[in-house]
Amino acid sequence: MRCFVIGNGISLQAADLDLITGQPSIACNRINLVYPDTKWRPTVYVHPETTLLDLHHIQESVDLGIPCYLGELYQTHIKDAPNITWIKDCHHHLINFDNPDVLDEWHLPQLCSFGGSVNVATQVATKLGFDDIILLGCDLLYRNGKGKSHFHKDYETGEEMSAFYASHNALWGHITALNYIRRKMKNVRVRNATRGGMLEIWERVTLDEVCQ
């Protein structure tokens, strides 16, 4: 079964999302900023990290009834609802890729919060039984607030992690996914349909090829 995992990179376009309307997709963080521009909505929403700046972004997806996987630390700020699954905090989001204690693969069945929301969304996809995962909008191009890093002009807050750690942690998150899948989920295929960007560890495909 195929599922799209949507990042928030600068390459993401509303027109791309229109192409996958009605297909299973998992998106994260401030993806709601694209809702006014497309009929597409994710079938699952993920936000494992905890930042109070994102509460209204999260709440919009919760209110739409989209199944949401949220970090358990949000429980004091987001009212529980039937469409919410709380993600147990494993604290791995607190370490960086150059920490000696960093993991080299997922620790399923508990979701690992290291490496950013796309890494968690990819884990959710496998737990839901998807074995053909297409990444979109996963650019790994962070610019320290000196230029756009994300798909929407209102995405940046000025409080982002340094570009160096944001990009390297995200890349290491993909490496933890690659290692786990190669070792324990050999039936799962992950491909990258992102337009450009720096993520090269997955097989590259175009969205047009996938959507034929």
Task: Summarize pLDDT for 162-179 with one digit per residue, the tens.
Answer: 788 888 999 999 999 999
For residue 159, name the pLDDT band (cuts at 50, 70, 90).
Answer: low
Amino acid identity of 66? I
Residues 178 and 201: beta-carbon distance below 8 Å:
yes
pLDDT at 51: 76
The secondary structure of residue 9, as a DSSP letter, is B
Q: Which two tokens stand for residue 33?
A: 């900023």
Can you say whether the dihedral through the CA atoms of 173, 210, 1, 204 is positive or negative?
negative
**Which has the closest alpha carbon to 71: 103, 47, 51?**
47
Percentage of residues in the chain with pLDDT exceeding 70?
A: 96
> What pLDDT, on a 0 to 100 scale, did the predictor assign at position 102?
94
Given a cut of 90, whether residue 52 has pLDDT beyond it is no
Query: How much of the chain exceeds pLDDT 90, in percent?
Result: 79
Q: Which residues contact 107 (CB under 8 A, 6 or more apart)?
A: 90
Cβ–Cβ < 8 Å for 111, 123: yes
Cα–Cα distance, 26 to 42 (Å, whole number): 6
- Partnered with residue 204 across adjacent β-strands are 192
pLDDT confidence of 90, banded at 50, 70, 90?
A: very high
Q: Would you state the pLDDT for residue 141?
A: 86
Tokens of 166: 């944001």
Asked whether the predicted pLDDT for residue 127 surpasses 90, the reply is yes
Share the mean pLDDT of the chain: 91
Supply the pTM of this predicted model.
0.94
User: What pairs with residue 203 in β-bridges?
Assistant: 191
Q: How confident is the model at residue 158 (pLDDT cuts 50, 70, 90)?
A: low
The answer to whether residues 81 and 58 touch, using CB atoms and an 8 Å cutoff, is no
Q: How many CA atoms lie within 13 A of 11 on its CB side?
A: 20
Rg (CA), the chain: 16
Burial 24-40 (b: 16+ CB within 10 A, else e): bbbbbbbbbbbbeebeb
Most confident range (mean pLDDT) of 97-101, 145-149, 154-158, 187-191 is: 187-191
**What confidence score (pLDDT) does residue 49 get?**
78
Helix (H) or strand (E) holding 175: helix 163-184
Residue recorded with tokens 């600068």 = 10
CATH of domain 2-211: 3.90.1480
Amino acid at the residue 22: G
Strand arrangement, sheet containing 203-204: 84-87, 68-71, 44-47, 25-28, 2-6, 132-136, 189-192, 203-204
